[in-house]
Amino acid sequence: MSVAATLIEKADLSIEDSNGCNAAKHHLSDPGNHPAEHFKKKMSPLRFKMRQFLTRYTDHQSETLANIQHTLRNPVLDVYFKYSALMGAHTFYIIALPIPIWFGHWELTRDLVYIFGYSIYLSGFLKDYWCLPRPRSPPVERITLSKYTTREYGAPSSHTANATGVSAYFLWRIWVESNFTLTSKALLSIGVMFYYLTLVVGRVYCGMHGLLDLYSGALVGLACFMGRIGFDYLFPTFKASEYNWVPVLSVIVSLFLLYRHIKPVDECPCFEDSVAFIGVVSGLDCSNWLIAKFNLNLVCSFIDFEPKNCLHILARLLVGVLTVIVWKYVISKPLVYFTLVKLVRLKDERKDYHERHEITKLAAECAEHIGVPNIELLGRFIIYAGVPSTVILVCPVIFKALQL
């Protein structure tokens, strides 16, 4: 019997069983909710002990979180937190992160990409390592625009990791690196904290995370922020363009991190985000090295954010965003996979892989980890590495051609 047929049979049986199942059975559709024995036989002793220790903070959280949620809920907040959660989605980052570069603020985007990229990777690694559940629904009600995120493990919260890292970075820039007046610093800090609380509190309000998830996510984000800032303090004179091994090392380290990523017990899609962001980091490294090494005149001119420049700013934003969208959603996939299949001669296992994923979604019980085929990992890595290359190498050329 084929793998697909076996999965279909299991899915059918699971659906039949689920017709009269109780809440405990229903929770098995989410990763991390199986009994301890399910994880013990598939984890190393140390990994299992860590999970067992941490489950004491997740086993009994759902009722408390449900009470908090029901106390706070109202239609306005439902809409606000549901849509503000999009600020933690990778599509939002693809559109938002390039903007500083297009207006002459290269270092801002560079630092944010490193913080976001490694926050996503580290939080995803720990999610798959610990295999801890999200708050159970019911009793918690999940308020989300994407069912994709509900299929991930709980701790650490990647939204919280990202929010912590970027908020710490902006506060550092405001209070340490800027010459703003005290009033301006205070107002900007209030704005940063409002953004931070929106994303973090929203995770609890939307029933997506518990307190352990938030605390661990905050530590991940803080560690990535400190790592980024610490590098500049430890190596203030480092110039990547002086070393030919920089782009090679970036690609090697990136692929090593992805191929050595821990395998989860239950199927969990958060690895896809890790591949995407590590690809972005590597693409940024290579593009930056290329510009500096060959002294390419591809730096976008600075534009003052004044009313008289509104049309100029909007035009550059529109052209830049459209260029990135064309690469990401039109050109990249057929080009990259044609190259990998026809020229590199990699075995194309995408059809079977996606069929298995679609079948597991029908099951009432969360499937065991399937794994990602080599071509899917490399293809996604290259596609997302092409995003910063498009932003840094292609967009400035288009801006100059259009006199933007």
Task: Quote the CA–CA distance of 135 and 213 in Å, as a whole number.
Answer: 10
Q: Please state, in angstroms and rounded to a whole number, the distance separating the CA atoms of residues 169 and 30.
A: 34
Region class of 295: left (phi > 0), else alpha (psi between -120 and 50), else beta: left
**Contacts of residue 7, Cβ cutoff 8 Å, sequence gap at least 6:** 356, 359, 360, 363, 367
Q: How far is CA 228 from CA 15, 117, 119, 225, 316, in A?
A: 47, 11, 11, 5, 29
Tell me the two tokens of residue 232.
């500049």
Classify residue 82 as exposed, middle or buried by CB count within 10 Å of its CB (0-12, 13-18, 19+). Answer: middle
Q: Alpha-carbon torsion 227, 229, 233, 237, what sign?
A: positive
Q: Catalytic residue, from 27, 34, 209, 261: name it.
A: 209
Number of DSSP helices (H) and strands (E) in the chain, helices first = 19, 0
Element (H, E) at 73: none
Q: If DSSP codes are grouped into helix, strand and coil, which group holds residue 368?
A: strand
Is 209 a catalytic site residue? yes
Asked if 366 and 13 touch (Cβ cutoff 8 Å), the reply is no
Cβ neighbours of residue 90 under 8 Å, at least 6 residues apart?
A: 120, 273, 276, 277
| Amino acid at the residue 184 | S
Tell me how long the chain is.
404
Give, in order, the Cα–Cα distances in Å from 1 to each of 8, 210, 389: 11, 41, 45
Which is catalytic among the residues 34, 159, 261, 354? 159
What is the rounded CA–CA span in Å between residue 56 and residue 54? Answer: 5
Token code pair at residue 297: 């005149």
Q: How big is the chain by its Cα radius of gyration, in Å?
A: 23
Q: Give the tokens for residue 254.
A: 């990136």
43 SS3 class? coil
Which residue in 299, 165, 293 sits closest to 228, CA to CA?
165
| Active site positions, annotated | 159, 209
